[in-house]
Amino acid sequence: MFQFSQPYNPHLFIICRFMGFRSMGRDESMAEYMLKMLMQVLINFSMGLIMALIIFIFGLWNIIQTYQPSPLTALFFFVTAACAAFALVSTYLFALYGAAAGGVYGLVKMAETNGRIEGGPGGRRNIRGDRVDRNGGYQQQGAWGDQRNARPHYQ
């Protein structure tokens, strides 16, 4: 299939890239599956970025020591570079989670609006404000409620 002497195998890369994705279960809806996949992607990005930050901070001191600076300069640069790396990772994760939360919120609002249009909570209404039931008949539950039937000039 592949040899270990090859420095790069594109097929192995594609296989490893999609290893974290799972198939949809028989008893879960598409929305539930998509939310689980979104959470999996967010956790993967979070763990990867945090591990990269930790490895960078541990390797940073060795990089600084190769230049043989004064101890005060080395400490100042180490703290500055570590804070900058932390700021970069935290900003990226904040933007990633914010985009995910905004996307989910937008999808929920769109589904809520579509539910109202199709007769969900609130129901579909005609021009007079009467509720339209599933069979195409009208139920007079508009702004006037049952008072319309009591007033002959509204019929």
Banded pLDDT at 98 (limits 50, 70, 90): very high
> Are 99 and 92 spatial neighbours (Cβ–Cβ below 8 Å)?
no
User: How much is the average pLDDT of 129-148?
Assistant: 52
The secondary structure of residue 125, as a DSSP letter, is B
- List pLDDT tens digits, range 53-90: 999 999 999 999 999 999 999 999 999 999 999 999 99
Q: At which residue do the structure tokens 């929920």 appear?
A: 108
pTM for this predicted structure: 0.61
pLDDT band at 1 (very low <50, low <70, confident <90, very high): very low
User: Is the separation of the CB atoms in 50 and 42 below 8 Å?
Assistant: no
Q: Are 148 and 140 in contact (CB under 8 A)?
A: yes
